[in-house]
């Protein structure tokens, strides 16, 4: 359960003016290591950590070591804490354990428009650490304060996305003085006249088992969902065709939003599954997508099926269902896959860095007959595989051809799973020649629900590109894109589950005249084949990236989400 928001404690209506008090950071379970930024001092002069003793509340607090020096410009530092406060707050509170060394303390609040709102000694909201031991800081967010950056509208726009605790160098009669010391912080909370669900979005989190766990048989699952009175649990089941959705249970929650249920894993598909936990309080809705790996269960649509209808008349020239050891490398030309976008990962694009199979941040693993690609906050890593390598060798197919991949993607804020193909530009690149290329994004899925997120649900994007082909290429690209009528809504085509609810097979057939896109062998879009696509061979890429122009926040899932790839196949019509 993410420490920055979801471990909530609500102490009811006891705050001033009948406001509701809600904890937004208690430092009890922090998935992303805390960080500190500094101004006018070396980075090594400040460090932060989670301390497991001396807390004001609970077992843990945030500890800061600092060293300000007498020389140079005025020095200060900030400790950012990611939050998501949806409704207007009257008061911000936190506890600070002082060391009496006369440093100044304050807060910077970042709003929805990326504007910074500063409350400090200068604005009369904060002050000097002339005390030792714990003291509560209470800030009236409606009082006058400094603002800068972002949309510069001078208003505190919601949601609030970050609360940064600031500490400034001590001064004496206007002169900067040196100081070395230790401070601690605990229990950042807000007071609001709104209810908990409106303040924090009635967010559901799973407290047990851990996200991404292996399960088997009857599995107890515990949840926390402050502001909700009940939740409904669903999971996709096997069966004829594309299977069926099922309601596992509806459970009542206690006064603090806690509850549990038993998930009968043996009745559900073997392998990766997504358990969907949903709740509603008034107009506020929330979904939690619990990824689990079912070690028992029923084998359903696992492994490679027969050749697809779209490949009729073609020969299968490559297939991988990941039953053997993974063959992925940054350097070995004999490996099947390269673990960056060639050449050399120069155009890697993920917020969580695409990392190598042989590195300490390796995001790849083989789980039974699946390739798992993991995005991790702890390692700040994610993964991509390419069938084209740096020496221009690899798996390619020339039109008429067909590519397909079956996978299950994660739906978290900022996740960006994709399967795509590009025309070969590497053969010329290794000769020192830059050439234009086509890119066909067979599926780009965007995760995240709530304010300022994609809210894609069962939709994904198909995006053709004609790179470095001038104005003519831009016109061709636009015409192709317009023909697809994005986004692709899966339910519209009779596909009952979304890309994050169950496995689906995504395909692309390139002919001399048309480029046709499929999901589960159902045509979902087509456009005229681009000129380069008729001439050059294609290679494929599969990735779990983050970002894509959207905010990234994996904290609900303890900073970890997974993409599972069942198989990938390539077909070509032999001449």
Per-residue pLDDT tens digits of the chain, which is 575 residues long: 333 333 333 343 344 456 788 999 999 988 788 999 999 999 999 999 999 999 999 999 999 999 999 999 999 999 999 998 988 999 999 999 999 999 999 999 999 999 999 999 999 999 999 999 999 999 999 999 999 999 999 999 999 999 999 999 999 998 999 999 999 999 999 999 887 778 877 789 999 999 999 999 999 999 999 889 999 999 999 999 999 999 999 999 998 899 999 999 999 999 999 999 999 987 788 999 999 999 999 999 998 999 999 999 999 999 999 999 999 999 999 999 999 999 999 889 999 999 999 999 999 999 999 999 999 999 999 999 999 999 999 999 999 999 999 999 999 999 999 999 999 999 999 999 999 999 999 999 999 998 789 999 999 999 999 999 999 999 999 999 999 999 999 999 999 999 999 999 999 999 999 999 999 999 999 999 999 999 999 999 999 999 999 999 999 999 999 999 999 999 999 87
Q: Please give the model's pTM, rounded to 2 decimal places.
A: 0.77
* 3-state secondary structure (DSSP) of residue 531: helix
Predicted local confidence at residue 11, as pLDDT: 40
Whether a cis peptide bond, with omega within 30° of 0, leads into 86 is no
Residues near 521 by beta carbon (within 8 Å), at least 6 away in sequence: 308, 309, 310, 505, 507
List the domains of the chain with CATH numbers. Answer: 16-198 (2.60.120.430), 201-294 (2.60.40.10), 313-462+530-572 (2.60.120.200)
- Which pairing describes strands 560-572 and 522-528: parallel, antiparallel, or unpaired? unpaired
Q: What is the pLDDT of residue 351?
A: 96
Question: Alpha helices of 415-456 — where are they, by DSSP H?
Answer: 426-429
DSSP assignments along 207-232, one per residue: EES-TT-EE-SEEEEEEE-TT-SEEE
Residue 310 is classified by DSSP as G
pLDDT at 31 (0 to 100)? 76
- pLDDT at position 18 is 62
- The Cα–Cα gap between 3 and 556 comes to 9
What does the pLDDT read at residue 8? 38
Q: Rounded to 5 degrees, what are φ and ψ at 16? A: -60, 140
pLDDT, position 565: 99
241 Cβ contact list (under 8 Å, min separation 6): none
pLDDT at position 197:
77
pLDDT for residue 17: 53
Q: What is the pLDDT of residue 32?
A: 82
């Amino acid at each position: 359960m993410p420490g920055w928001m979801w471990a909530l404690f609500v102490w009811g209506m006891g705050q001033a003016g009948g406001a509701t008090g809600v904890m937004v950071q208690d430092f009890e379970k922090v998935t992303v290591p805390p960080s500190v930024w500094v101004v006018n001092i070396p980075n090594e002069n400040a460090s932060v950590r989670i301390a497991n003793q001396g807390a004001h509340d609970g077992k843990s607090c945030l500890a800061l070591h600092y060293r300000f020096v007498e020389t140079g410009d005025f020095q200060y530092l900030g400790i950012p804490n990611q939050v998501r406060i949806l409704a207007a707050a009257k008061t911000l509170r936190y506890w600070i354990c002082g060391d009496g060394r006369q440093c100044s303390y304050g807060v910077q609040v970042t709003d929805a428009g990326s504007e910074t709102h500063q409350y400090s000694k200068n604005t009369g909201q904060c002050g000097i650490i002339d005390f030792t031991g714990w003291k509560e800081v209470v800030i009236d967010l409606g009082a006058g304060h400094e603002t800068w950056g972002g949309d510069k509208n001078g208003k505190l726009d919601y949601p609030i996305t970050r609360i940064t605790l600031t500490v400034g160098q001590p001064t004496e009669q206007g002169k900067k003085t040196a100081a070395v010391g230790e401070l601690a912080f605990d229990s950042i909370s807000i007071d609001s006249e709104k209810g908990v669900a409106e303040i924090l979005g009635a967010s559901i989190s799973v407290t047990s088992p851990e996200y991404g766990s292996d399960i088997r048989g009857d599995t107890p699952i515990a949840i926390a969902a402050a502001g909700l009175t009940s939740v409904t649990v669903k999971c996709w089941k096997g069966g004829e065709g594309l299977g069926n959705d099922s309601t596992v249970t509806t459970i009542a929650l206690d006064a603090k939003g806690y509850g549990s249920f038993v998930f009968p894993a043996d009745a559900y598909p073997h392998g990766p599954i997504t358990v969907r936990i949903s709740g509603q309080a008034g107009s506020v809705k929330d979904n939690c997508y619990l990824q689990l790996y079912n070690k028992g269960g029923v084998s359903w649509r696992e492994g490679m099926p027969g050749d697809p209808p779209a490949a009729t008349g073609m020969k299968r020239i490559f297939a991988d269902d990941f039953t053997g050891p993974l063959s992925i490398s940054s350097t070995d030309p004999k490996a099947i896959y390269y673990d960056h976008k060639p050449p050399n990962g120069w155009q890697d694009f993920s917020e969580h860095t695409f990392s190598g199979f042989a590195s300490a941040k390796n995001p790849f693993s083989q789980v039974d007959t699946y390739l798992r690609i993991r995005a991790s906050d702890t390692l700040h890593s994610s993964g991509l595989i390419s069938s084209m390598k740096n020496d221009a060798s690899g798996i390619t197919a020339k039109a008429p051809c067909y590519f397909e991949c079956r996978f299950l993607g994660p739906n978290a804020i900022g996740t960006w799973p994709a399967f795509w193909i590009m025309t070969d530009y590497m053969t010329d690149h290794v000769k020192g020649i830059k050439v234009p290329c086509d890119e066909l994004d067979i599926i780009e899925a965007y995760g995240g629900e709530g304010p300022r997120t994609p809210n894609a649900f069962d939709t994904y994007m198909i995006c053709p590109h004609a790179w470095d082909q001038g104005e003519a290429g831009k016109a061709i690209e636009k015409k192709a894109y317009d023909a697809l009528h994005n986004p692709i809504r899966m339910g519209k085509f009779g596909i009952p589950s979304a890309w994050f609810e169950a496995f689906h097979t995504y395909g692309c057939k390139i002919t001399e005249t048309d480029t046709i896109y499929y999901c589960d062998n159902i045509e979902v879009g087509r456009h005229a084949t681009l000129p380069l696509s008729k001439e050059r061979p294609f290679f494929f890429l599969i990735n779990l990236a983050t970002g894509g122009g959207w905010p990234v926040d994996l904290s609900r899932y303890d900073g970890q989400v997974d993409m599972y790839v069942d198989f990938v196949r390539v077909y070509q019509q032999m001449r």
